[in-house]
Amino acid sequence: MGRLLIVHHTPSPNLQAMYEAARAGAGTDEVSGVEVVSRPALTCTAVDVLEADGYLLGTPVNLGYLSGALKHFFDTVYYPCLEATVRRPFGAYLHGNNDAAGALRALESITTGLKWRAVRPPVVVTGEPAKADLEACWELGAMVAAEVGDI
C-alpha cells in the first residue's frame, strides 16, 4: 500500500474547495493501493513526509511567495528528508488574487533542491475556482495517486 500525503494551508472557502477536489481525486476508486493522509501544513512533520511515497501540496499565494505555513513546512522537513525522498512524485495547487509568479519560483526552487518529481505543472487558480479549475485539482490528486498506487 502506497501512502499519499496531502500538505495544505487552507484559510478560505476558495482554498477549501480546491483542497476537497484534490483530496477527492487522490482518493479516487480508479487507483488502488493508495492510503491518503492529510495534514495542515503547520502540523506536518518530517516523519509524515518520510512515511509517505508521494506528496500533494496546496497553498495560497501570500506577499508574492508561498504561504508562511507551507514555507514553515519546508523549513521543518527540508534537511531531515533531503536524502530519503529523492525522486518521489508530487503535485501542487496554488490560489492567489493576481500573481503567483514568486510562489511558483519558490516552489520550483525548493522541490528542485529536494529532487522531487513533478507529476504535472502546478494548478494555479485566481478568484472563485471554476468547474474546470476544480476538475484540474481533482486530476492533480488522481495523478499523484496513480504514481503512488497500483493503478
Q: Does 63 bind ligand FMN (CB under 6 A)?
A: yes
Whose Cβ is closer to ligand FMN: residue 63's or residue 132's? 63
> One symbol per residue from 78 to 117: x for binding ligand FMN (CB under 6 A), - otherwise; what is it?
-----------------xxxxxx-----------------
Nine-digit cell at 58?
496546496
Contact residue for ligand FMN among 25, 54, 60, 141 (CB under 6 A): 60
Task: Report in angstroms how near the CB of residue 10 gets to ligand FMN at its nearest.
Answer: 9
Task: Report in angstroms how near the CB of residue 62 gets to ligand FMN at its nearest.
Answer: 4
Which residue has cell 529536494?
Answer: 114
Whose Cβ is closer to ligand FMN: residue 105's or residue 115's? 105
Judge contact between 124 and 105, C-beta under 8 A. Answer: no
CA distance 70 to 49: 13
Residues 9-48 that bind ligand FMN (CB under 6 A): 12-15
∠72-73-77 over CA atoms, to 5°? Answer: 115
150 Cβ partners below 8 Å, 6+ apart? 2, 31, 32, 33
Query: How many residues interact with ligand FMN (rule CB under 6 A)?
Result: 15
Spatial CA neighbour of 3 closest among 121, 114, 84, 89: 89
Residues that bind ligand FMN (CB under 6 A): 12-15, 60-64, 95-100
